[in-house]
Amino acid sequence: MVLETIDIVIVIGYALALIAIATLVSREKAGHKKDTADYFLAGKALPWWAIGASLIAANISAEQIIGMSGSGYAIGLAIASYEWLAAVTLIVVGKFFLPIFLKRGIYTMPQFLEQRFGVSVKYVMSVFWLGIYTFVNLTTILWLGATAINTLTGAGMMPGMILLAMFAAAYSLYGGLKAVALTDIIQVVLLIIGGALITHITLSQVGGGDAFGGFQRLMAEFPERFDMILSKDNPQYKNLPGIGVILGGMWVMHFSYWGFNQYIIQRALGAKNVKEAQTGIMFAAFIKILMPFIIVVPGIAAVALAPDLAKPDQAYPEMMKLVPSGVRGLIFAALIAAIVSSLGSMMNSISTIFTMDLYRPIFGQNKTERQLVTVGRVTSLTSLIIAVFAARPLLAGAEQVFQIIQEYTGFFTPGIVAIFVLGMFWKRATEFGAISAVIGSFALSLIFKVWLPGMPFIDRVGIVFLLCLSIGVGLSYMQRPYSQATGGADKIVDLGGISFKTGTGFNIGAIVVAAILIFLYGFYW
């Protein structure tokens, strides 16, 4: 047992407080019954700080903290590209994508695809996302979270996953997105404080009491761990292929995740207005710049402090053992905060897609709003139970879980980004072209994986994306264009009626983020 009594008291106190606050903020005014807009989009009234905090809390979970720290142990600071390039991606999403989505008044990403292309695209993508969220994302969050619990307490993996699932259900099942988003500011503050503490403590251990000295020692003794652009002779080049990281497929993966992923974008869809959503996104972009210093750096420190780990993903839990009691409880609570917040967010997205895109049009046309909310809650709970039992068979033998997730979601991301880009910015794109691009994404990725197994998956993602764009464009010409004559004029996104102008604060923030990233990449090149 690594956690002592004071640590356990802190963790239990945090859990009870979070459940109480989530329940309190989810209460409706007297006489008002929770409807689908309340449950799935927080009543479309989220303020910027809740949007920004919730974007980070949804993103930073066990797969990020434990998985990315493990990749920091195995690869080094280069893995930070997933965080730093995401900051730029968020700015692009806020300026060019969000105005389109909010103008359409959608609940889900499949709903946009239905409006733009037709029901076949919606159903295909709804089933796809439900499968990915349940069998990839939920299972990963639960498994890596249970790994941390196992390392620190000795508890079995299954009991650990069940406890996390029960906690997530207790705080998010009743209130939906509102409960998740309005408590995520607490989660993010705890996450940043806890992460900063473990970074300081591990670097101090390396530096003999001097954190800055510890960082300098790591740079001197393990210079290869501080290369942002890996050379071809680096054994990890296949995961982060040099300059291709900042010029190629990683952008496709980022736009898929931050721009067209229900799990993430749902927070912005619940904004009061476009400006509030954009401010929240800029807030999140600045936090993304900070994240590698509190997630990746402890993993690099573990190279010096625990060089003989059986698996890289054990790095962060091992570093937590170095933290004194009391502080360890706070950091463990921060880790739990990240896990349950992501679980709650994922559950809500699964329930939103299933209820609004599958159940309501097929079975629930005559159902009341309250009945639909009930379906959403049942769906959330069901997906969580499935993930608990699926996690061990899917992930028990994995080494770097974070890298596995990136590679295999990369089979689908090129097609996803292609159909959204074509749907938003090319009027001639049709349903046949979109479906073909989605199917082509998986088929082409599989062909490249089998025929060119040595190709870095990030490079593969970039190439397949270009091919999917070509497929979408070429096969769209095989179908009549949408027009007033064919009754499909409403499917075309009218960019003329959408403003892409952003305020002074957003523009200044974008310049500052770009300048910071140019400096970081230049310094650690």
Domain boundaries defined on the chain:
5-26+35-409+494-523
**pLDDT tens readout for residues 124-135:** 999 989 998 998
Position 331 scores a pLDDT of 80
CB 254 within 8 A of CB 85: yes
**pLDDT tens readout for residues 413-454:** 999 999 999 999 998 999 999 999 999 999 999 999 999 988
**pLDDT tens readout for residues 169-188:** 887 887 787 777 878 888 88
Give domain 5-26+35-409+494-523's CATH architecture: Up-down Bundle (1.20)
Asked if pLDDT for residue 322 goes beyond 90, the answer is no
CB 247 within 8 A of CB 259: no
CB 260 within 8 A of CB 416: yes
Lowest average pLDDT, out of 99-113, 196-210, 291-305, 316-330, goes to 316-330
Find, among 141, 106, 96, 11, the residue nearest to 401 by Cα: 141
Position 484 scores a pLDDT of 53
Find, among 27, 419, 486, 474, the residue nearest to 259 by Cα: 419
Confidence of residue 137 (pLDDT cuts 50, 70, 90): confident
Asked if pLDDT for residue 393 goes beyond 80, the answer is yes
Helix or strand (DSSP H, E) at 53: helix 48-59
Find, among 70, 67, 160, 152, the residue nearest to 322 by Cα: 152
**Structure tokens that stand for 189 in this block:** 């503050």
Position 165 scores a pLDDT of 92
Confidence of residue 153 (pLDDT cuts 50, 70, 90): confident
**Structure tokens that stand for 397 in this block:** 């033998």
Put simply, whether the predicted model's pTM sits higher than 0.85 gets the answer: yes
**pLDDT tens readout for residues 26-47:** 776 666 666 788 777 777 888 9
Confidence of residue 107 (pLDDT cuts 50, 70, 90): confident
Residue 211's CB is within 10 A of a number of other CB atoms, namely 16
Higher pLDDT, 64 or 225: 225
408 burial type by CB count under 10 A (0-12 exposed, 13-18 middle, 19+ buried): middle
CB 176 within 8 A of CB 350: no
Confidence of residue 333 (pLDDT cuts 50, 70, 90): confident
What does the pLDDT average to over 149-170? 86
What 8-state DSSP symbol labels residue 30? T
Position 278 scores a pLDDT of 95
What does the pLDDT average to over 127-154? 85
What does the pLDDT average to over 485-509? 81
Exposed e or buried b per residue across 497-524, where buried means at least 16 C-beta atoms within 10 angstroms of its C-beta: eeeeebeeebeebbeebeeebeebbeee
The Cα–Cα gap between 310 and 397 comes to 12
The DSSP annotation for 183-249 comes to HHHHHHHHHHHHHHHHHHHHHHHHTTS-HHHHHHHHHHH-GGGG-SS--TTSTTTTTS-TTHHHHSH
What does the pLDDT average to over 99-108? 88
Q: Is 400 strand, coil or helix?
A: coil
Position 507 scores a pLDDT of 95
What are residue 400's phi and psi, to 5 degrees?
-105, 95
Position 389 scores a pLDDT of 94
**Structure tokens that stand for 71 in this block:** 């990749």
The Cα–Cα gap between 117 and 148 comes to 44
CB 389 within 8 A of CB 138: no
Asked if pLDDT for residue 271 goes beyond 60, the answer is yes
Find, among 63, 58, 80, the residue nearest to 406 by Cα: 63
Q: Is 486 strand, coil or helix?
A: coil
Position 45 scores a pLDDT of 83
Percent of the chain with pLDDT over 70: 95
